[in-house]
């Protein structure tokens, strides 16, 4: 058991690694390219988010959160050419013994099982942390692509909560998917 995850985890098709300042430009570019498809679901997708300086500041904040154990942010990369495919992170914001996964994917990587594989990998990593016994994925009820990932991986829909609408396509009905190894 560990208190923090490894900074890099590899599968046959993916590299999940802790972001560095060197990633700021590629992340800013990916957000710019994917802005129209991310904006309906993620309120942080703004013109400012497409700026390298904004990503440098976000990565610096993520480094602080990693150091305190509050969030572990990873870039998803193709090991064959190093190209950026998306982001996935573990967030300690759901209470004791739980961690929430959040993610987004570059349009060019969709339809290849990338996010399913990244999520399965990070779920396993999360459950190896010494104080974690459940992993959650939260998404709006209308976000069919996001909810397809936990469905494929055997997460259970625990509840649907009413929440204020935070992004253009949200319904305010927030799904909470839970994975607990002893419940499978």
Domain ranges of the chain: 8-183
Q: What pLDDT shows up at residue 168? A: 87
Residues 6+ apart with CB under 8 A from 29: 50
At 65-111, the pLDDT tens digits run 999 999 999 999 999 999 999 999 999 999 999 999 999 999 999 99
- Mean pLDDT for all residues in the chain: 94
Structure tokens at 164: 């204020």
Given a contact cutoff of 8 angstroms between Cβ atoms, the answer to whether 125 and 95 are in contact is no
Residues 6+ apart with CB under 8 A from 91: 70, 71, 99, 100, 101, 102
Q: What pLDDT shows up at residue 181? A: 83
Given a contact cutoff of 8 angstroms between Cβ atoms, the answer to whether 125 and 167 are in contact is no
Q: What pLDDT shows up at residue 3? A: 87
Higher local confidence (pLDDT), 168 or 50: 50
Residue 184's pLDDT band, with cuts at 50, 70 and 90, is very low
Q: What pLDDT shows up at residue 89? A: 97
Portion of the chain with pLDDT greater than 70, in percent: 98
Residue 126's pLDDT band, with cuts at 50, 70 and 90, is very high
Q: What pLDDT shows up at residue 183? A: 53
CATH class, range 8-183 = alpha beta
- Which three-class secondary structure state does DSSP give residue 143? coil
Helix (H) or strand (E) holding 124, with range, is helix 114-127
Whether 119 shows a pLDDT value over 80: the answer reads yes
């Amino acid at each position: 058991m560990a208190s923090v995850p490894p900074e890099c985890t590899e599968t046959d098709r993916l590299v999940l690694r802790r972001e560095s300042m060197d990633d700021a430009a590629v992340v800013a570019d990916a957000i710019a390219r994917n802005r129209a498809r991310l904006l309906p679901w993620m309120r942080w997708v703004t013109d400012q988010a497409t700026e390298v300086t904004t990503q440098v500041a976000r990565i610096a904040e993520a480094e602080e959160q990693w150091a305190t154990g509050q969030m572990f942010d990873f870039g998803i990369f193709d090991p064959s050419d190093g190209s950026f495919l998306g982001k996935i992170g573990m967030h300690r914001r759901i209470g004791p013994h739980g961690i929430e996964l959040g993610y987004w994917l570059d349009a060019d990587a969709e339809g290849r099982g990338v996010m399913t594989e990244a999520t399965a990998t990070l779920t396993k990593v999360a459950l190896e942390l010494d104080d974690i016994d459940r992993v959650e994925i939260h998404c709006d009820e209308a976000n069919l692509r996001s909810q397809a990932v936990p469905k494929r991986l055997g997460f259970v829909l625990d509840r649907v909560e009413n929440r204020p609408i935070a992004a253009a396509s949200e319904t305010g009905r927030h799904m909470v998917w839970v994975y607990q190894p002893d419940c499978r």
